[in-house]
Amino acid sequence: MNTTPSERTTIVCAAIIIDQHKVLLTLRPEDKRLGGYWEFPGGKLEPGEAAHAALHRELREEIDIRVDIDRLLESVHYSYEWGTVRIDGFLCRLAGGTIKHLEVADHAWVPFDQLDNYRILPADKPFIEWLKKQYQP
């Protein structure tokens, strides 16, 4: 879907957390937009908020964990029928906490070769492709 200059882009940060040759995915609750899709944990930036601060905040609010942020992997632009998002995907390491389902329906640590078995948000698919290329057996 094409975007016009007048459309507002929602900026989202996502944590691509890798641990023991698996990546963390979370399941969106059914009562939210795009419910039932798996995604990388994270969320929208608040006005004036830096991406790293937003990522740390969102991970505490959604699943109660802490991460060390390594680097920005890529920024992905995707247009849904309701608007455009830019997802800044950050490669992260788990730094502490135990995953709780505070604002997610479920979570899974997924081996790279099983990522195609999950119904992934369309906007997150470029990160899935990156993982599969980087971590092929």
Mean per-residue pLDDT over the chain, rounded? 91
Q: How confident is the model at residue 82 (pLDDT cuts 50, 70, 90)?
A: confident
At 111-136, the pLDDT tens digits run 999 999 999 999 999 999 998 888 76
Residue 49, token pair as written in the block: 């908020």
* Domains defined along the chain, listed by start: 9-134 (3.90.79.10)
Residues 81-95 as b/e (b if ≥16 CB within 10 A, e otherwise) read eeebbebbbbbbebe
| Residue 113 CA to its chain's centroid (Å) | 18
- The pLDDT score that the predictor gives to residue 135 is 74
Residue 71 has pLDDT above 70, yes or no: yes
- The pLDDT score that the predictor gives to residue 2 is 42
Q: How confident is the model at residue 137 (pLDDT cuts 50, 70, 90)?
A: low
